Amino acid sequence: MKKLLFFALLIFSVSCNQPQNDPARMLASGSWLDLTWDFDASTVYWPTDDPFKHDTVSCGINAKGYFYSSFKYSAEEHGGTHFDAPLHFAQGGRSIEQITTDELTGRAIVIDISQQSAQNRDYMITPDDFLKWEKTNGTIPDKSIVLLYTGFGNYWNDHEKYTGTTKSGTAGVEELHFPGLGPDGASWLVKERKIKAVGIDTPSIDYGQSKDFQTHRFLCANNVTAYENIAHLDQVPAKGSYIVAAPMKIKGGSGSPLRLLAWVPVK
């Protein structure tokens, strides 16, 4: 993690015309935000997935008289704040360990569609939402990491409000209602703006009622990675932040838990 952060800072300092040997100077002009939800028994997973489990192996004073703790966990790849590799929906797509460090870091923008989502839980983000953002903030730069703020992160501790249901299994899948990126929006971002990655503060980049996951399929087929269940997106500005996405490096994995960090300049 330290090496990845240092590498990201060097890249960012060059792009901002800061001295390459002075990442501390750049850091001092902003702060880091953790956009990751804790993993515990209440963490949101897809209704058909097994929940996160964290069990004690040892915790306490051992027979030799000193404190020792060790735990074990089990989890599906796609739950909580997590990372989607192209393999998730693309046959022959790249798995987690094949994603380059350059793809895991980069400048980010935040598209605020919280008003639309408040009026329609099944809202699908379209190219018009991106064009509206560009009227105020300028053209989305190539290789941007595009983060979609729906406001649903405010419901993280209320499973029903966050996902639309408290049921598990196929019955729960049928009742999922939350906003997502529409297929047209995904196509526009990739073809017209050549983005690096996309993330959202809901359980899926596709909206909750999707039956064919066209957005996932398109992004994965075009080698674009995705982040889901992002925390605290309301604290990230529309532009000017820098992202470090550090998924667990699972060989052959289609996804993994993600520690997502954002460097934000001081206002």
Give the pLDDT band of residue 218 (cuts 50, 70, 90). very high
Q: How many CA atoms lie within 13 A of 249 on its CB side?
A: 8
- Sketch out the chain's domains with CATH numbers: 2-265 (3.50.30.50)
Mean pLDDT of 176-183: 98
In this predicted model, what pLDDT tens digit does every residue of 122-134 receive, in sequence order? 999 999 999 999 9
For residue 108, the model assigns a pLDDT of 98
What is the overall mean pLDDT for the chain?
93
DSSP symbol at 121 = T
For residue 254, the model assigns a pLDDT of 98
Give the pLDDT band of residue 8 (cuts 50, 70, 90). low
Please check the confidence at residue 15 and state whether its pLDDT lies above 70.
no
Q: Which residues of 120-156 are buried (b: 16+ CB within 10 A; e: fewer)?
A: ebebbbbbebbeebeeeeeebeeebbbbbbbbbbebb
Mean pLDDT of 168-188: 98
Percentage above 90 pLDDT, the chain: 88
Residue closest to 146 by CA, chosen among 160, 134, 161, 154 = 134
d(CA 215, CA 206): 6
For residue 184, the model assigns a pLDDT of 98
Mean pLDDT of 68-80: 97
The residue count of the chain comes to 267
pTM of the full structure: 0.90
Q: What is the DSSP string of 17-31?
A: T--TT-HHHHHHTEE
Q: What is the DSSP string of 41-100?
A: TT--B-TTSPPPEEEEEEEEE-TTSSEEEEEEEE--SSBSSEEE-GGGTSTT---GGGS-
For residue 23, the model assigns a pLDDT of 73
Please check the confidence at residue 11 and state whether its pLDDT lies above 60.
no
In this predicted model, what pLDDT tens digit does every residue of 142-161 receive, in sequence order? 999 999 999 999 999 999 99
Residue closest to 222 by CA, chosen among 199, 247, 194 = 194
d(CA 148, CA 224): 15
Mean pLDDT of 43-59: 97
> Which residue would you say has higher pLDDT here, 29 or 190?
190
- Residue listed under structure tokens 């990739």: 190
Give the pLDDT band of residue 6 (cuts 50, 70, 90). low
